[in-house]
């Protein structure tokens, strides 16, 4: 399926019927679009699955359609209250994934023009409440790919700037390397009309507010995150994949990252990251093949701390000790700060 989770299909989706499958969340992780990194983060997969299930079940009560059916334990599909232990496997309804063809450097999205429903919308929608130093926004502004007015800003933003209103950004989902684009192009390639585009942004706003509130309960700030969405069989929006986890969002605690950003910070100052940036400049399609350096493993202590961050967040957000003997998130983050030299 991908660099951090696998998909087991038990029944394929069609244009008139949902499919059925299971997401198996692994302990693998990925940064900078590299794919599978050399380490595994213990319990990461189960922490993501359980936290994702918690949020999906909350959305059910809010009347927001999703593809979630439950978590799998002893080959039975259960809701969280019925789960006896931890699980890294989520049962889901499947939509069709219509992959655009590639001719040279150009993708063909024409198959989305006449499709009614039952498919994954080929976009990732990003909400931004802050602009942390590692945000891709700064690189795109520096390279001239976007201007402040494209983000509804009246001047160049500063690192760690809190936004008066969230920015909704959009990128491709099914291309070899994620590519940011205008909302006009996003609507064009995915076949969305003006009202459907408005509905997609409104859903993103609802999810943003929901996640912000959930993490505020444990003292964390929701800086940015992403969602993936599809159309059900009646062309109604439904939330897919997973959302609100430490892999999909950037959270901070008193300015300290509480997400996959911890690993990004570690690798950002390595020769490997510099080689990745250079390769992407040379060839956006085949950059990984020409990258001259491979990533080294994480420092052992930092790897343990990252594992504990995932576990503690899931314990504290859900209010249940899924991962026994895990220190408090506050204590773990104090050690992370020392380890990263922040």
Q: Which domain holds residue 27?
A: 5-340
For residue 152, is pLDDT > 90?
no
Q: Tell me what the mean pLDDT of segment 160-172 comes to.
A: 93
Beta strands 76-78 and 101-103 are unpaired
Say which range, 126-130, 168-172, 176-180, has the weakest mean pLDDT: 176-180
Residue of 321 and 104 predicted with greater confidence: 321
C-alpha neighbours within 13 Å on the C-beta side of residue 12 = 4
34: left (phi over 0), alpha (psi -120 to 50) or beta: alpha
Q: What is the predicted pLDDT for the residue at 255?
A: 86
Q: Tell me what the mean pLDDT of segment 262-282 comes to.
A: 92
Contact by Cβ (8 Å): 339, 301: yes
Contact by Cβ (8 Å): 50, 71: yes
Q: In the numeric block, which tokens belong to residue 199?
A: 């509905």
Q: Tell me what the mean pLDDT of segment 174-179 comes to.
A: 86
Domain count, the chain: 1
Beta bridge partners of 251: 222
Q: Tell me what the mean pLDDT of segment 304-326 comes to.
A: 97
The confidence band for 135, taking pLDDT boundaries of 50, 70 and 90, is: confident
Q: Tell me what the mean pLDDT of segment 310-322 comes to.
A: 97
| pLDDT digit string, tens, across residues 18-76 | 999 999 999 999 988 888 899 999 999 999 999 999 999 999 999 999 999 999 999 99
Contact by Cβ (8 Å): 27, 43: yes
Q: Tell me what the mean pLDDT of segment 238-263 comes to.
A: 91
Whole-structure pTM value: 0.90
Q: What is the predicted pLDDT for the residue at 76?
A: 97
Q: What is the predicted pLDDT for the residue at 176?
A: 82
| pLDDT digit string, tens, across residues 203-228 | 999 999 999 999 999 999 999 999 99
CATH number reported for the structural domain that contains residue 299 in this entry: 3.30.470.20
The confidence band for 127, taking pLDDT boundaries of 50, 70 and 90, is: very high
For residue 180, is pLDDT > 60?
yes
Residue 105: what are its φ and ψ, rounded to 5°? -105, 10
For residue 167, is pLDDT > 60?
yes
Query: Using CA atoms, how far apart are residues 299 and 303, in angstroms rounded to an integer?
Result: 6
Q: What is the predicted pLDDT for the residue at 1?
A: 55
The confidence band for 2, taking pLDDT boundaries of 50, 70 and 90, is: low
For residue 247, is pLDDT > 70?
yes
């Amino acid at each position: 399926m991908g660099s951090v989770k696998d998909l087991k299909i038990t029944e394929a989706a069609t244009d008139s019927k949902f499919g059925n499958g299971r997401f198996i969340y692994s302990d693998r992780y990925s940064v900078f679009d590299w794919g599978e990194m050399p380490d595994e983060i213990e319990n990461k997969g189960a922490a993501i699955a359980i936290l994702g299930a918690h949020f999906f079940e909350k959305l059910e009560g809010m009347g927001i359609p999703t593809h979630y059916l439950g978590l799998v334990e002893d080959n039975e599909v259960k809701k969280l209250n019925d789960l006896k232990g931890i699980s890294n496997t989520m049962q889901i309804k499947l939509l069709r994934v219509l992959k655009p063809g590639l001719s040279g450097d150009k993708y063909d999205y024409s198959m989305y023009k006449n499709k009614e429903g039952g498919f994954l919308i080929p976009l990732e929608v990003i909400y931004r409440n802050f602009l942390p130093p590692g945000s891709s926004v700064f690189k795109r502004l520096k390279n001239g790919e976007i201007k402040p007015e494209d983000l509804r800003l009246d001047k160049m933003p500063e690192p760690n700037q809190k936004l008066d209103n969230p920015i909704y950004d959009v990128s491709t989902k099914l291309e070899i390397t994620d590519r940011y684009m205008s909302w006009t192009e996003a609507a064009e390639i995915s076949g969305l009309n003006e009202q459907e585009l408005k509905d997609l942004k409104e859903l993103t706003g609802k999810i943003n507010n929901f996640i912000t509130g959930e993490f505020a309960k444990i003292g964390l700030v929701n800086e940015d995150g992403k969602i993936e969405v599809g159309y059900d069989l009646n062309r109604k929006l439904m939330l897919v994949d997973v959302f609100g986890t430490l892999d999909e969002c950037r959270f901070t605690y008193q300015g300290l990252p509480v997400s996959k950003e911890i690993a990004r910070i570690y690798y950002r100052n390595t020769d490997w990251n510099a080689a990745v940036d250079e390769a992407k400049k040379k060839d956006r399609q085949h950059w990984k093949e020409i990258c001259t350096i491979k990533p080294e493993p994480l420092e052992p202590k930092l790897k343990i701390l990252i594992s504990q961050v995932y576990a503690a967040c899931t314990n504290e957000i859900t209010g249940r000790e899924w991962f026994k003997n895990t220190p408090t998130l506050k204590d773990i983050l104090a050690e992370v700060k020392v380890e990263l030299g922040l």
